[in-house]
Amino acid sequence: MTTNVRPVLEPCGVRVHETAPSREAAVHRCADVLEEIGAVHPSYRDAMLDREWAMSTYVGEGVAIPHGLDMSRALVRRDSLAVLRFPEGVDWDGETVHVCVAIAARGDGHVALLSALARILLDPGRARALRESADPEEIVAMLHLDDEP
């Protein structure tokens, strides 16, 4: 059965001054950070790349959400998020991504997280605040506030 653990986002999982020459390089950086914070097994990287090529993880408003496929759940050590901000932008199949929210999740707790993120992105002011924030604590707070309807 699935569990409803909400992925953890900590300031150490937020990187605000990233650069990447390509979408692939950006996904690699996302995998690097998930590995550094002890969230995933090194093989999770391949699952993230496979998922990215199966269908873009771009969700709108300059945000992409690189993550692995269902079958890569066993490679997740701790349900976690990482947020990488690319101030110069990364070309994402014709879109420009400024923020990657990298997801490592075993259960369906990430559906609640995605819902919170989607509600931020549907609100242009909050979407801009998320893209422009260079403060890890503030980014963590933005992504955690949305338990209310």
Partner 1 sequence: MIRTVLLAGRAGLHLRVAARIAEAAARLPTPITVRTQDRAAVPADSTLALVSLGALCGSELILEAYGPFAPGALNELADLFATDLDAADA
Q: How far is the CB of 19 from partner 1 (least distance, A)?
A: 25
Residues that bind partner 1 in the complex, under the rule CB under 8 A: 2, 4, 55, 57, 59-60, 65, 69-71, 108, 110-112, 114-119, 121-122, 149
Which of helix, strand or coil describes residue 13? helix
> Which entry of 17, 28, 41, 67 is annotated as an active-site residue?
67
Terminus-to-terminus CA distance in the chain, angstroms?
26
Tell me whether residue 28 is one of the annotated catalytic residues.
Answer: no
**5-32 as b/e: b if 16+ CB within 10 A:** ebbbbeeebbbbebebeebeebbebbbb
Nearer to partner 1 by Cβ, of 18 and 61: the residue is 61
**Minimum CB distance to partner 1 smaller for 89 or for 109:** 109
* Minimum distance of partner 1 from residue 68's CB (angstroms): 12
Gap between the Cα atoms of 20 and 15, Å rounded: 13
Q: What positions carry a catalytic annotation?
A: 67
